[in-house]
Structure 1
Amino acid sequence: MRTDSPSARPGPTRPRSVLIRRQLAVVSVLVVLAPILLARPDARAAALLLALTAALAAAAATLPWPAGRITLGTVGAVVTVASLLVDLLYSGPFRLPAFWLPFEWLALLGLLFRAVRRLPDRWVGPVGALLGLAVLVLPLRFALRVPQGGAAWPVAGMLLSLLPVLAVAGAALYLRILDVRRERAVDRARREQRLEVARGLHDFVAHEVTGIVLEAQAGQLPGQEPEETAALLRRLEEAGLRALDSMDEMVGALREPGGQAGGTGQDERASAATTRRQGLADLPELVARFGATGSLRATADLAPDTAGRLSAEAEATAYAIVLEALTNIRRHAPKATEVTVRVAPGEAGAVELTVTDDAGGPAGTPLLRRRPGAGGTGLAGLTARAAAHGGSLTAGPGTPAGWRVSCSLPGR
C-alpha cells in the first residue's frame, strides 16, 4: 500500500542561487534600515527617507530578476528615479546623507553592473546611462549641503565616482561581449551540426534510397530468374542496412554527451570511436556497389601514389563528391552505359578527382543539381566544401559526350 500523499510529496525546488540572492537581499535591507533606530526623533523622518532609498537600491542589486512581470530594466529605472528625486528634494540635516550614502552608492554600482551585462540591447543604453548618472551625482547629496563647503567637495565627489562607474561599466560590457560571442559560437556549432546532418541525409541516405528504388524497378521486369531475384533481394537488404547505419550515425551525432536519449556517456564515446570517415580508399567499394545496380559498367582508377596526400576531412569531401556524382547519374542520366571514377596526383601534392559518364544529358543541364532553398547539397554545397579545403570543383559536358565532374584538392 502506498503511504505517500500529494501533500507529502516534495514541491518544486528553487535553484540554490536564487535562495542565496534572496537571503542576501534580506540581510542587506536589514543592515541598511537598522541605523534608523539610532537617529534622533526630530531627524527620524529624514533618516527613514534616506534609509528606504538605500534599502531599495540594495534589494534591487541583490534580488534575482525578472520576478513575475517585474524586469531588471524596470527595477533599474525605478531605483534611478527614486535616487535622483531624493538628491533634488532632500531637505534634512546635511550629516545624515553621509551615513547612508556608501550603502546606496555601492548598491547602485552593483545594479549598474547587472544592467549593462544583462539588459536587452534596446534598454542597456538608457538604463545604464541613468544608473551611471545616479552614481555620479549621489555624492552631491552631501557635498552641496555642507555649510561653507565651496566647490571643492562637489567636484571631488563626482571625480571619485567617475572612475568606479567607468570601471564597472567597462567590466560589465566586456563580459557582455564575451557572452554574445559564446552565444554566437553555440549558434554556429548548432548550424554546422544541422548542415552536417543534412549533408549526411543527402549524400548517404538519398544515395542508398535511390539504389533501392532502381533495384525495385529492375525487379518488376518480367522474366526474372530465381537466382537474379535472390541476388536482388540481397542487394536491397544491404542497401537498406547501410541507410539505417547512416541514420544511426546521424542521430548519434545529435545526442548530447551522456544524455538520456543516447544512453551513458561511455556508450556515446564508444559509438564515436567506431564511426569512421569515408575516404579515397573506400571509393572502389562504392563504385563496385554502384556498378552492381543496373546494366552500366562502372570502373574506379585510383593511382597508388595519392594515398596519404589529403587530410581526413578532405578525403571525406572527395568521397562525398563521388557519391553525389554517382547518385545524380542514376537520377538524371538513365541512358549512361559507362561511368569512370579516376583519382590521380596533381601538381604540388594536389589530388585530381574526375567522374565521367557517357550519357550525362543535354548540354547545359547540371549533373549536380541544387534545389532552390536547399542549403548544403548539390553543386553549390559541394563547391563550398571543396573551397573550404583550398580546392575547386567544376561540372560540365564531357568530350565527346556525357558529363564530367572534376575536383582538385590540395595536399596537406
Structure 2
Amino acid sequence: MRTESPSRPATPRAVRPRSARLRRPLAVLAALVLSAPVALAHPGEHGPALLLALMAALAAVVALLPWPTGRVTLGAAAAAVAGASLLLDLLYRGPYRLPAFWLPFEWLALLGVLFRVVRRLPDRWAGPVGGLVGSAAVVVPLRFALRTPQGGAAGPVIGVLLSLLPVLGVAGAALYLRVLDARRERAVERARREQRLDVARGLHDFVAHEVTGIVLEAQAGQLPGQEPEETAALLRRLEQAGLRALDSMDEMVGALRDPQGGGPDGRGERAEPAGHAAGATTRRLGLADLPELVDRFGGTGGGLRATVDLAPGAAELLPAETQATAYAVVLEALTNIRRHAPQATEVAVRAVLVGDGGVLVTVTDNGGPARKPRLVRRPGSGGTGLAGLAARTAAHGGSLTAGPVEPAGWRVGCTLPGA
C-alpha cells in the first residue's frame, strides 16, 4: 500500500475542500456573465466591448481558479493578467463610456488576485508580482477617467487615490494573514521537533535503561555455577525488564501515531507496568517511585547493594513535572553506573530537604573514577544524557552537578526548588 510523505502531503482531487471544488464552475460562470453584455453593445463597438469584457473575465478567472492549474502557477497567471490590464490601459482607443461598465468588475477581480498573491506566493515572488498586480489595480480607473471629455486633472487623481486605499488595505490584510500562517507553520515545526526529542528522551531514559539491565543480567547468567533457582530468578527479571522496555516502546509509538495524545514527554511520563490495556491512563513517575526503581536496579545481583532514603514530605514539596525530572536524573545516573562503573558495589539514592522548601536528590556510588566521562553529551545534543537533563533541571529553576567523590566514587546531585 502506497503511503504519502508527511513532508509533502498529497491532496487527491476527490478529497479537496468543497470551496476548492466550486472554484472552477464559479470561474466559468463569472467569465460567461461578464462576456454576455457584449451582445448589447452598439454596432461598431463590439470590438472594444469584447476586449474589455475579456479583460474583466480573465481577471475574474485568475482570482477564482485554484492554482496551480496544470503547469500554470498562481504567480505566472497573476503577472499575466496584471500585464494585460496595464497594456490595455495604454492601448485602449474605444469609446470612453464602455470602460465604465466593466471597470468595477475588473478592479474587484484584481483586488482578489492581489490578496491571493500576497498571501500565498513564495517570498521571492510575493513582492514583485504583488507590486505588479497592485499597480494594475491602482491605475485601472485611468482607463475611464483620462478619456472623459472635459474631465480635467482632478478626475484621474481622485480615481487613483480612491483605488489606492483599498489596494493598500487588501495587501495589508493579506500580509497580516501571511504572517499568521508563517507563525503557525513555525509552531507546528517546533511541535514536531519537540515530539521527536520527546521520543528520543523516552528511548534514552527508559528503553536504554532496561536494555542495559538486560545485557548485564545476560552477562551474569553466563557465569559458571548457576543454581536452578538463580537461573529461574534471572529469567524472570529478564522477562520483566523486556516487558517494561516493550511497554515504553508501545507508548512512544502511540505518541507518534496520535500527536494529540498523552505520550511520553521525556520527563518521566510513561504507562503503567507491562500488560496494561490499550488506552490506559499514563502518569508521571516521581520521587515516590524511586524505591521501586532502586530495588530493580539492586536486584541485578553481582554483590551490588542499592539503597534509597527519601526525606518525609519531599515528594509533596515538588510539582509533578519537577518530580518527573528528578526521577529521570536518578534513572540516568543508575544507567551510567551500569555502563561506566560496573565495579561499583554500593549505590545510595537520597532525597533531602534543603533551603527554602527545595529538595536535593543525589545518587552516589563507590565505583571509582569512570573509565569514560559520564557527562558524554553536550547541552543541546538532543536532550539525552546528564547534560541534557541539566538543561531540563535549569528550566525548573534548579541545578545539576556530577563529579568524583572521595575516597573513590561518583556523585550526581540535582537541586530542585519547591512549588
Q: Mean Cα displacement is larger for which, 76-85 or 337-346?
A: 337-346
Match of 1:255 among 249, 257, 265: 257
Q: Secondary structure at the match of 2:45?
A: helix
Uncovered stretches (5+) of structure 2, i.e. residues with no partner: 1-11, 262-276
Equivalent position of 1:262 in the other structure: none
Decide whether the 8 Å contact of 2:376 with 2:385 is kept in 1: yes
Q: Work out the CA distance in 1 between the residues paired with 2:162 and 2:379.
A: 61
Q: Work out the CA distance in 2 between the residues paired with 1:360 and 1:49.
A: 91
Cα distance 1:360–1:116, how it changes in 2: closer, same or farther (>3 A)?
farther
Match of 2:125 among 119, 123, 128: 123
Match of 1:157 among 159, 166, 184: 159
Equivalent position of 2:401 in the other structure: 394
Equivalent position of 2:35 in the other structure: 33
Deviation at 1:14, TM superposition (A): 5.8
Decide whether the 8 Å contact of 1:54 with 1:103 is kept in 2: yes
Percent identity reads 74
Decide whether the 8 Å contact of 1:366 with 1:395 is kept in 2: no
Match of 1:303 among 299, 307, 311: 311
Match of 1:334 among 314, 337, 342: 342
Deviation at 1:216, TM superposition (A): 0.4
Amino acid at match of 1:409: L
Q: Secondary structure at the match of 2:14?
A: coil
Moved over 6 A (4+): none
The answer to whether the aligner puts 1:82 opposite 2:84 as a matched pair is: yes
Q: Work out the CA distance in 2 between the residues paired with 1:87 and 1:79.
A: 12
Decide whether the 8 Å contact of 2:399 with 2:416 is kept in 1: yes
**Given the two structures, how large is their TM-score scaled by the length of structure 2?**
0.90
Q: Work out the CA distance in 2 between the residues paired with 1:273 and 1:160.
A: 63
Match of 2:144 among 142, 145, 167: 142
Decide whether the 8 Å contact of 1:332 with 1:360 is kept in 2: no
Q: Work out the CA distance in 1 between the residues paired with 2:368 and 2:159.
A: 82
Deviation per CA, 1:304-338, whole angstroms, max 9, x where unpaired? 12122111111111111100000010000022111
Deviation per CA, 1:6-55, whole angstroms, max 9, x where unpaired? xxxxx973633232111111111111111100111211111111111110
Q: Work out the CA distance in 2 between the residues paired with 1:368 and 1:202.
A: 14
Q: Work out the CA distance in 1 between the residues paired with 2:151 and 2:389.
A: 76
The answer to whether the aligner puts 1:325 opposite 2:333 as a matched pair is: yes
Q: Secondary structure at the match of 2:307?
A: strand
Deviation at 1:111, TM superposition (A): 0.6
Equivalent position of 1:265 in the other structure: none
The answer to whether the aligner puts 1:188 opposite 2:190 as a matched pair is: yes
Cα distance 1:13–1:362, how it changes in 2: closer, same or farther (>3 A)?
closer
Q: Mean Cα displacement is larger for which, 372-381 or 150-159?
A: 372-381
Q: Over aligned residues, Cα RMSD in angstroms?
A: 1.9
The answer to whether the aligner puts 1:285 opposite 2:292 as a matched pair is: yes
The answer to whether the aligner puts 1:175 opposite 2:167 as a matched pair is: no
Deviation per CA, 1:235-291, whole angstroms, max 9, x where unpaired? 1011011111111111111123799xxxxxxxxxx8565211111100011011101
The answer to whether the aligner puts 1:13 opposite 2:14 as a matched pair is: yes
Deviation at 1:162, TM superposition (A): 1.2
Decide whether the 8 Å contact of 1:353 with 1:407 is kept in 2: yes
Match of 1:96 among 81, 95, 98: 98
Q: Work out the CA distance in 2 between the residues paired with 1:315 and 1:273.
A: 21
The answer to whether the aligner puts 1:72 opposite 2:74 as a matched pair is: yes
Equivalent position of 1:240 in the other structure: 242
Uncovered stretches (5+) of structure 1, i.e. residues with no partner: 1-10, 260-269
Decide whether the 8 Å contact of 2:380 with 2:388 is kept in 1: no
Deviation at 1:155, TM superposition (A): 0.7
Equivalent position of 2:214 in the other structure: 212
Amino acid at match of 1:370: R
Q: Work out the CA distance in 2 between the residues paired with 1:176 and 1:330.
A: 52
Q: Work out the CA distance in 2 between the residues paired with 1:146 and 1:307.
A: 85
Q: Work out the CA distance in 2 between the residues paired with 1:399 and 1:213.
A: 29
Deviation at 1:189, TM superposition (A): 1.0
Cα distance 1:221–1:273, how it changes in 2: closer, same or farther (>3 A)?
closer
Amino acid at match of 1:212: I
Amino acid at match of 2:339: R
Q: Work out the CA distance in 1 between the residues paired with 2:350 and 2:259.
A: 40
Deviation at 1:402, TM superposition (A): 1.0
Deviation at 1:343, TM superposition (A): 0.6
Deviation at 1:166, TM superposition (A): 1.2
Q: Work out the CA distance in 2 between the residues paired with 1:211 and 1:14.
A: 49
Q: Work out the CA distance in 1 between the residues paired with 2:368 and 2:96.
A: 93
The answer to whether the aligner puts 1:349 opposite 2:367 as a matched pair is: no
**Given the two structures, how large is their TM-score scaled by the length of structure 1?**
0.91
Amino acid at match of 2:102: W
Q: Work out the CA distance in 2 between the residues paired with 1:188 and 1:409.
A: 27
Q: Work out the CA distance in 2 between the residues paired with 1:54 and 1:13.
A: 31
Deviation at 1:185, TM superposition (A): 1.1
Deviation at 1:371, TM superposition (A): 7.6
Deviation at 1:401, TM superposition (A): 2.0
